[in-house]
Amino acid sequence: MSALTTNQAGQGIAVLYSFRRCPYAMRARLAILVSQIPCEIREVALRRRPTDMLAASPKGTVPVLILSCGQVIDQSLAIMRWALAHNDPQHWLVPQTETFEAMLALISENDEGFKPNLDRYKYPNRYCVEHVDPELAFAQAHRAAASIWLFRLESRLELSPWLFGTSASLADMAIGPFIRQFARTDALWFSMQPWPRLKTWLAQWESAEGFQRMMEKHPPWQAGQPAVLWNQQ
């Protein structure tokens, strides 16, 4: 089955392979929803990755966006930028303070510095190779390392309610899924930490336009099933 899907006018639309809980896929879905670009969403069961997705992107991870022209975009930030370049109604690409390059730098710090510690905190059994009481100490060490980044965000939010001003930006929407994942790993511990502004910011992020739609549950996609369409005209 071809990845190409048509809208009600018979025109080809993009297909997004996604996984509901993946933070990379979450931020891609948010950008597609807010940009109002028609798209078919295909939920992926990670243990049974669709052959169409693997043919388009052999790396085998989500998100994968296949445009109607056949072009493949398989990096989440690139998907966000592609969608918002077509339509950015909330001006995520135009920060109120600092520059677009500063936003990209902050996102890079999140993805390259914070995310590895988050993974090892949330999934210590996947990464820890020691054998004497390994997982608890390993997870706590990486939680402490990850917390340094959260203190930095807390300090940044002293200046404004969002990371780059008084309204949400690309940086907020790209970083939010990872902070949410961290907070939910041990919600009680997170609630006790001295990050009042970060907690408020996260609550605002979860209340943003499109969040509930972005987190809707869909069964894993199979060829031949009815398409789940977003932003359909």
Tell me the residue range of the domain where 153 lies.
100-206
pLDDT tens figures, 38-55? 999 999 998 899 999 999
pLDDT of residue 1: 36
pTM of the model: 0.92
* Token pair 């605002």: residue: 204
Question: Are residues 201 and 105 part of one domain?
Answer: yes
User: What DSSP line would sit under 131-158, residue for residue?
Assistant: -SSHHHHHHHHHHHHHHHHHHHHHHHTT
The kind and range of the H/E element at 95 are none
pLDDT tens figures, 79-138? 999 999 999 999 999 999 999 999 999 999 999 999 999 999 999 988 887 655 568 889
Question: Are residues 68 and 114 part of one domain?
Answer: no
pLDDT tens figures, 184-196? 999 999 999 999 9
Select from 168, 124, 167, 128 the least CA-distant residue to 143: 124
> Has residue 140 been placed in a domain?
yes
> Has residue 65 been placed in a domain?
yes
Q: What is the CATH number of the domain that holds 224?
A: 3.40.30.10
For the chain, the domain total comes to 2
Question: Are residues 134 and 174 part of one domain?
Answer: yes
Mean residue pLDDT of the chain comes to: 92
Question: Are residues 105 and 86 part of one domain?
Answer: no
Question: Are residues 136 and 200 part of one domain?
Answer: yes
> Has residue 36 been placed in a domain?
yes
pLDDT of residue 46: 86
Question: Are residues 190 and 106 part of one domain?
Answer: yes
pLDDT tens figures, 200-212? 999 999 998 889 9
pLDDT of residue 2: 43
